[in-house]
Chain A
Amino acid sequence: AQTVTQSQPEMSVQEAETVTLSCTYDTSESDYYLFWYKQPPSRQMILVIRQEAYKQQNATENRFSVNFQKAAKSFSLKISDSQLGDAAMYFCACQGGSEKLVFGKGTKLTVNP
């Protein structure tokens, strides 16, 4: 079984600045995958970035990157050059041992102009 904890219910960032969202997880699986999903207000959830646990290199997708610390079971998301369109709920999720995703409670990101 997996658990995912997002300790920051809300975060805010100035446009063009950088923000980091925290996530810790726990799993007994040796093979697992970690994800960050974005859920804009009243819109559907979309994948931001994924990380395979067996890969040591941190995943990056344009302005989004992760800091994956396997021993610490930490998986933070860094958003660089924040844009107004980045404002959303961000969910961290873990998948291992089965097909289901286990999500954290989410972090609401506000981007201030």
Chain B
Amino acid sequence: DTGVSQNPRHKITKRGQNVTFRCDPISEHNRLYWYRQTLGQGPEFLTYFQNEAQLEKSRLLSDRFSAERPKGSFSTLEIQRTEQGDSAMYLCASSPASGVTDTQYFGPGTRLTVL
């Protein structure tokens, strides 16, 4: 069990550029979640996958945001035409989906800075 990993850990980009983040969940975890955390706030839910199916999306996830989990393993989160308001920590979590409600295990996050 190597834990949830996220890459890159830090990303600095200019407004209007596209960025993509990757999350590798704990092996054999079926559920994968994306959250966004801004300074001084708790994480806010963006979306989650059960295997490769995206089952829930927050209203926070505008059309500029897209997430995929093509083979039910790793996931990518892409932000198109970044805005300064997108600056945040993007957290990924996974859970085994073995019970009614499973503990979510978080990765270290990707910190995005949009200049």
**Chain B: CB-nearest residue to A91:** B42
A 43-97 contacts with B by CB, 8 A: 43-47, 50, 52, 91, 93, 95
Is B44 in contact with A50, judged by CB distance below 8 angstroms?
no
Is A101 in contact with B107, judged by CB distance below 8 angstroms?
no
Query: How many A-B contacts at CB < 8 Å in the complex?
Result: 53
B74 sits at the interface (CB 8 A): no
Contact partner, B101, options A4, A91, A95, Cβ 8 Å: A95
* A interface residues, how many (CB within 8 angstroms): 24
Is B103 in contact with A47, judged by CB distance below 8 angstroms?
yes
Residues of chain B with a CB closer than 8 A to A47's CB: 103-105
Contact residues on B (Cβ < 8 Å of other chain), bracket? 20 to 34
Is B108 in contact with A43, judged by CB distance below 8 angstroms?
yes
Is B108 in contact with A44, judged by CB distance below 8 angstroms?
yes
In the complex, per-residue mask of B38-73: 1 if CB is within 8 Å of any chain A CB, else 0: 001111110010000001101000000000000000
- Known contacts A44-B109, A45-B91, A46-B106; is-contact A103 B43 (Cβ 8 Å): yes
B33 sits at the interface (CB 8 A): yes
Is B40 in contact with A105, judged by CB distance below 8 angstroms?
yes
Residues of chain A with a CB closer than 8 A to B109's CB: 44
Sample of 19 A–B contacts (CB below 8 Å): A4-B42, A33-B101, A44-B3, A44-B109, A45-B106, A47-B104, A47-B105, A52-B101, A91-B42, A91-B43, A93-B42, A99-B33, A99-B48, A100-B58, A101-B43, A101-B104, A102-B45, A103-B44, A105-B40
B29 sits at the interface (CB 8 A): no
* Chain B contacts to A: CB under 8 angstroms: 3-4, 31, 33, 35, 40-45, 48, 55-56, 58, 91, 100-101, 103-109
* Chain A contacts to B: CB under 8 angstroms: 4, 31, 33, 35, 37, 43-47, 50, 52, 91, 93, 95, 98-106
Given contacts A44-B107, A45-B43, A52-B101, 6 further A-B contacts (CB under 8 A): A44-B109, A100-B33, A100-B48, A102-B45, A103-B43, A104-B42
Min Cβ gap A2→B in Å is: 11
Min Cβ gap B35→A in Å is: 8
**Chain B: CB-nearest residue to A6:** B42
Residues of chain B with a CB closer than 8 A to A101's CB: 33, 35, 43, 45, 104
